[in-house]
Amino acid sequence: MKYKIRPWTLDDLDSLVNYANNWKIAKNMTDKFPYPYNKVNGKAFIEFATKDNPIHIFAIDIDGKAVGGIGIHPQDDIYRKNAELGYWLAEQFWGQGIISDAIKKMVEFAFSTYDIDRVFARPYGTNIASQKVLEKNNFILEGRFDSILIKNGELLDELVYAIRRENWKK
């Protein structure tokens, strides 16, 4: 399926709310990604995603509609050689290779744009699909922390996957 990665705009608000308002997405995200997801949440997110230069949080666009998001979050202080990868996609587009390809593009963007040595992602232990898509993109499981996250009253494992600059083009 054809898609593009582009900056968010306020014109995406209705599409964002429509696709993000899904428990199956929110359950795998931090609590900063609320459920239900409404226009106030969407407007705040779009303002956040478009404030930095360079833009590093993008919409995943299919047929002119924002159906997901993907971003690189550069770290600071002693973590400044690292960036975190985050992503989500509307449920109806799962399993079509979109996120896998978008991750590849975002890793390229991260290493081409920032002076970093590592891109990492932190899926929940329950999010098998995310683990598989990271592994497909040559991310290595660096660590598993048992029962350290609390999401909806449940203790979850946090996994840390990463790809290093020296390995990303292999």
Quick one: pLDDT at residue 163? 98
Answer for the pair 168, 107: CB distance below 8 angstroms, yes or no: yes
Report the pLDDT averaged over residues 63-91.
Answer: 98
Quick one: pLDDT at residue 1? 82
Report the pLDDT averaged over residues 157-161.
Answer: 98
Tens digit of each residue's pLDDT (9 = 90 or more) over 117-142: 999 999 999 999 999 999 999 999 99
Residue 49 has pLDDT above 90, yes or no: yes
- pLDDT greater at residue 83 or residue 170: 83
Q: Which residues 6+ apart lie within 8 Å of 93 measured at CB?
A: 1, 62, 67, 68
Quick one: pLDDT at residue 31? 96
Global confidence as pTM: 0.96
Binned at pLDDT 50, 70 and 90, residue 9 comes out as: very high
Q: Which residues 6+ apart lie within 8 Å of 104 measured at CB?
A: 137
Secondary structure (3-state) at 48: helix
- DSSP bridge pairs for 58: 7, 70
Please give the tally of structural domains in the chain: 1
Two structure tokens written together for 35: 């459920």
Binned at pLDDT 50, 70 and 90, residue 170 comes out as: confident
Q: Which domain holds residue 32?
A: 4-167
* Residue 54: cis peptide before it, omega within 30 degrees of 0: yes
Looking up residue 49, the CATH number of its domain turns out to be 3.40.630.30
By the 10 Å C-beta count (0-12 exposed, 13-18 middle, 19+ buried), 164 is classed as middle
